[in-house]
Structure 1
Amino acid sequence: MSLLVVFSVTGCGGSKYPPTFKTTGTVTLDGKPIEGATVSFYPNGTNKPANGETDSSGQYQMSSFNQNDGATVGSFRVAVQKQPKVEYESTPEGTPYDPSMESSEPQAASDMGQSENSLPKMYADPETSGLTATVAESDSNVFNFELSSK
């Protein structure tokens, strides 16, 4: 007679990431939805950071480890900023690299087409934004952030 022993181990062979929970919301500035803003959750404890981007209606969905997987349980300080999309010039495919086209001087961010955050500066820093979120073990974590230009 043979004896078959099956071991079931949880936590050791499962996901390499902590559990995440659906986390969504809307960002408005003076009552109007903001498109293309980055929402960043900065953990207050040992939970993991998360990020999301707003769509044309100001709605966002957070991502921690995979696209739109949500946020980990815990409390967060929140920052919101909007950087304009930067268009970079490219050379036609197959064009050889020409180092003589590069400048030996570093370029300032303003020279490279990057510009400042278009939202009030205080919201870009989780220490000054005044925005917080506490994610629970639930799929109904909704955090709406109403920003003011005043």
Structure 2
Amino acid sequence: MIGRRFSWLLLGAAVFLAGCPKGGSSLGTVPVRGRVTLDGAPLPGATVTFSPKSPEGRTAAGMTNENGEFILTTIRAGDGAVPGEYGVAITKPVATAGPAEDPRVRGGALTPEQMAQIREQAKAKAGAEGGSAIPKKYTSPATSGLTATVKRGDKNEFTFDLKSQ
């Protein structure tokens, strides 16, 4: 009797695990990382946003570190993006000083809510201070000319070299 219950428990666990998508979220995200440069130099403190081209897609975003490297987040920090086609926008306000409690200061990651709040603050600050640290064309997926295709099973590493002129 105990052996039979144990067998059912194992079978249930196997079915549960087989049904879980790889990538760590119920959306089936896959890891996505990359690097942003401006005229060949790393661009730290920029927000990279992948906007889906299909209506069923989900937006993913990440912040660049001091080397211009980013890791995308859709739901949980670092979970990546849902496979699909994306338009890419990159923003960086003129002044990027963050609060002392910013988890990136200690090598941590931001939640999607924190990233949205920072983007809104950056937009407000950029408007008040007169602009962006990068050409305005890169701040919208409609004008940036930057695209990405995220595929399940691929490396999904992207490099975006922005030009100041």
User: TM-score by structure 2 length?
Assistant: 0.66
Counterpart for residue 103 of structure 1: none
Counterpart for residue 127 of structure 1: 142
User: What is the root-mean-square deviation in Å for CA atoms of aligned residues?
Assistant: 2.8
How far apart are residue 77 of structure 1 and its match? 0.2
> 2:33 is matched with which residue: 21, 24, 34?
24
Query: Aligned partner of 2:42: which letter?
Result: P
> Counting helix residues as a fraction of each chain, which structure ranks higher?
2
Note closer, same or farther for the CA distance 1:132–1:87 as it changes in structure 2 (3 Å cut). Answer: closer
1:141 matches 2:152: no
Query: Aligned partner of 1:58: which letter?
Result: G
> 2:50 is matched with which residue: 41, 44, 51?
41
Deviations 1:91-139 (A, max 9, x none): xxxxxxxxxxxxxxxxxx56x9665221100000100000000000025
User: TM-score by structure 1 length?
Assistant: 0.72
How far apart are residue 47 of structure 1 and its match? 1.7
Question: Equivalent residues in 2 for 1:69-88 (5 A)?
Answer: 69-83=79-93, 84-85=95-96
Q: Report the Cα distance in structure 1 between the residues aligned to 2:29 and 2:44, rounded to whole angstroms.
A: 25
Question: Equivalent residues in 2 for 1:103-118 (5 A)?
Answer: 109=124, 116-118=131-133
Q: Report the Cα distance in structure 2 between the residues aligned to 1:56 and 1:16, rounded to whole angstroms.
A: 28
Q: Higher relative CO (CA 8 A, sep ≥ 6), structure 1 or 2?
A: 1
Equivalent position SS for 2:51: strand
Matched length: 127
Equivalent position SS for 1:143: strand
Q: Report the Cα distance in structure 2 between the residues aligned to 1:56 and 1:85, rounded to whole angstroms.
A: 12
Q: Report the Cα distance in structure 2 between the residues aligned to 1:16 and 1:38, rounded to whole angstroms.
A: 22
Q: Report the Cα distance in structure 1 between the residues aligned to 2:128 and 2:96, rounded to whole angstroms.
A: 9
How far apart are residue 17 of structure 1 and its match? 2.4
**Structure 1 residue runs of 4 or more that deviate by more than 3 Å after TM superposition:** 3-11, 13-16, 112-115
Note closer, same or farther for the CA distance 1:70–1:29 as it changes in structure 2 (3 Å cut). Answer: same
Counterpart for residue 64 of structure 2: 54
> 1:68 is matched with which residue: 78, 85, 94?
78
Counterpart for residue 97 of structure 1: none
Query: Aligned partner of 1:126: which letter?
Result: P
Tell me, which stretches of 5 or more residues in structure 2 are unaligned?
100-123
Contact conserved, 2:25 with 2:75, CA < 8 A, in 1? no
